[in-house]
Amino acid sequence: MSLIKCGMSKINQLSMIEISDLEAIFKKIEIDFKDAPKLYISHELKNYSNIDDKAFRVLVAAVISLRTKEKTTWEVSERVFNSVKNFKDLNNIPVEELQSLLVPAGFYKRKALQLKTIAAVCLSDYQGKVPETIDELLKLNGVGRKVANLVVTEVFDTDGICVDIHVHRICNRWGLVVSKNPNETELILRDILPKKYWRIINQRLVIFGQNFCLPINPKCNNCFLNHKCAYAVDKGFMSS
Ligand code: SF4
């Protein structure tokens, strides 16, 4: 079997996990990880029924979460939202105060400036609301495809695939895609993935990636997919 480079590692070129397998895989992950800690963004989505409040909090928390551990995202986001309830508050808060609320999130100084700019643009161009399309969201300072897709799918219920580092890594390990970065993975998935999976793939693979298919030392020995996953087959795990 030939090997090809896929960015972070070499995997087998033959994909043994098929699109037709995904229904059962996503169901099993949902059941097996039902007690895994909830993500902050999911928690926020459930807590707010007003779409403007929800969009504001998901966008701000998503920016805070970039290159930041989930536990820190929870702590920092809660602290920020105690002081800042909407774009007007975000626009008014002094940048130094916002920076101190954001510590210890990664790149907190840069994020404070980005969030201030986002607030100013949303107030001046979008009547104090979050823009609703990926193209408009991408114009906001610090917002990349991952955050834009997350907002449109989870808040506005429109088409998108939110590919973070877990979705990117696992799709490459499975052999579903061969790509160098999450943006490339998203574009391939948009081609091959039926729309019914566009939202769910993020929900399932983030939990799976945080708890089992870890970036380093994935638990292939005990994985229900080790007879199909290209990465595990290549490494010689074929116990099932
Ligand atoms: S077999 Fe290993 S690499 Fe493949 S999905 Fe399972 S844990 Fe991840």
Q: CB 7: neighbour CB atoms within 10 A?
A: 16
104 cis-preceded (ω within 30 degrees of 0): yes
Point out the domain boundary residue: 154, 183, 201: 154
Query: 141 and 168: one domain?
Result: no
Query: 31 and 62: one domain?
Result: no
Could you tell me if residue 240 is inside a domain? no
Which candidate, 229, 231, 218, 196, places its Cα nearest to that of 27? Answer: 196
What does the alpha-carbon distance between residue 29 and residue 208 come to, in Å, rounded to a whole number?
Answer: 7
Distance (angstroms) between ligand 1 centre and the Cα of 182 equals: 18
Count of domains observed in the chain: 2
pLDDT in tens, 18-65: 999 999 999 999 999 999 987 887 777 777 889 999 999 999 999 999
Average pLDDT on 85-112 reads: 97
Could you tell me if residue 43 is inside a domain? no
pLDDT in tens, 192-217: 999 999 999 999 999 999 999 999 99
Query: 29 and 97: one domain?
Result: no
Could you tell me if residue 81 is inside a domain? yes
Distance (angstroms) between ligand 1 centre and the Cα of 213 equals: 5
What does the alpha-carbon distance between residue 10 and residue 191 come to, in Å, rounded to a whole number?
Answer: 23
What does the alpha-carbon distance between residue 49 and residue 35 come to, in Å, rounded to a whole number?
Answer: 24
Which region, left, alpha or beta, applies to residue 142 given φ > 0 means left and ψ of -120 to 50 means alpha?
left
Which candidate, 35, 67, 25, places its Cα nearest to that of 204? Answer: 25
Query: 81 and 169: one domain?
Result: no
Question: In degrees, to the nearest 5, what angle opens at C-alpha 201 toward C-alphas 193 and 39?
Answer: 160
Could you tell me if residue 194 is inside a domain? yes
Task: Report yes or no on whether pTM surpasses 0.85.
Answer: yes
Residue among 223, 228, 238 whose CB has most ligand 1 atoms within 8 A, to mutate: 223
Could you tell me if residue 13 is inside a domain? yes
Residue 140 sits in a domain of what CATH number?
1.10.340.30
5: three-class secondary structure by DSSP: strand
Point out the domain boundary residue: 154, 180, 195: 154
Report the chain's mean pLDDT, rounded to a whole number. 91
> Whole domain around residue 216: which residue ranges?
3-37+161-235
